[in-house]
Amino acid sequence: MRNVQMRKYILLIASLLVTRLAVAGPPFTTDDPEPVEYRHWEFYTGSQLVQNPDGWSGTLPQFEINYGPIPHLQVGMIIPAVSFVAPSDGPRQFGYGDMQFGAKYQFIEETETLPKIALFPHVDVPTGDQERGLGSGNPDYFIPLWLQKSIGPWTTYGGGGYSINPGEGNQNSWFVGWQVQRRMTSNLTLGAEVFHETSKLEEGPSSTKFNVGAIVDLSETYHLLASAGHSIQGPEEFQTYIAFLITFGPEKSSGSHSKR
């Protein structure tokens, strides 16, 4: 019974990787409340990996596209071109994963006393093959609230949300996380985060993890992002994320990758 439950847990991790890490404030899992600028675009090409005692899972690669159709609103999608599961005691699986669609709406501007606040609901669409561990088999709805405050070169953001996760053996869950970052130079930003998730499986384990990450602005248009971390409570896991980001739009301002 334990082996069956553990296998289900490993397969679920594969489908979660395609969405939960990618929809956040790359390269971090915790998200920020700042949408893409009006009439601007973000295009990420990246990969994320998770390793635990039972094997590896992740995406190689995945694409994320975000657009600002009106001020304070961002719409976007994640395309898991190649998801994979490589258990230590079973066959490897490769294929298309679960897609994600979301919209971020910032409804409070940051002031001297108030943080910036936004809602960012999104849905994971079960386009991956559940039988092969490449998808969840059910839609997953996540409804988070994010806050952010900046002081000089320092920026901190975080919040949390509730995930509605239907399906046999699944249960709804909570996510909460917080991140702190500092712009070290005009081209380099370093940060760290801690986040906690309750289990999406009935009687499954919760987990608490940390990440450290960096953002390198090669220019106003091209950016490199990377993070890595480990669990500090719950199942033992190592996670990493790396991506190349292109940002563009009309009348692009200096330092336009303002979200990070």
- The pLDDT confidence band at residue 42, using thresholds 50, 70 and 90, is very high
| 165 pLDDT higher than 80 | yes
In our burial notation (b when 16+ CB lie closer than 10 A, e otherwise), range 119-132 reads bbebbbbbebbbeb
- Confirm if 121 and 102 have CB atoms less than 8 A apart: yes
Residue-wise pLDDT for 10-36, tens only, equals 555 544 544 444 445 899 999 999 999
254: pLDDT confidence band, cut at 50, 70 and 90? very low
> pLDDT, tens digit, for every residue of 214-253?
999 999 999 999 999 999 999 999 999 999 999 999 975 4
User: Is-contact 61 45, C-beta < 8 A?
Assistant: yes
Q: Say what the pLDDT of residue 44 is.
A: 97
Cα distances from 244 to residues 64, 66, 138, 218, in angstroms, run 11, 14, 30, 10
What tokens were used for 24? 């956040």
- What does pTM read for this prediction? 0.87
> What mean pLDDT is predicted for residues 75-98?
92
pLDDT higher than threshold 70 for residue 2: no
Q: What is the mean pLDDT of residues 51-74?
A: 94
Taking 90 as the threshold, does the pLDDT of residue 5 lie above it? Answer: no
Average pLDDT over residues 86-100: 91
**pLDDT at residue 255 tops 50:** no
Q: Rounded to the nearest 5°, which phi and psi values hold at 163?
A: -110, 125
Q: What mean pLDDT value characterizes the chain?
A: 89
**Could you give the percent of the chain with pLDDT greater than 90?**
75
Note the pLDDT of residue 19.
42
Q: Are strands 188-197 and 207-217 parallel, antiparallel or unpaired?
A: antiparallel
Percent of the chain whose pLDDT exceeds 70: 87
Per-residue pLDDT tens over the stretch 106-151: 999 999 999 999 999 999 999 999 888 888 889 999 999 999 999 9
Contact 224, 216 (CB under 8 A): yes
pLDDT at 150: 96
The residues near 125 (Cβ < 8 Å, ≥ 6 apart) are: 98, 99, 100, 101, 139
259 CB-contact burial (10 Å; exposed 0-12 / middle 13-18 / buried 19+): buried
pLDDT, residue 183, reads 97
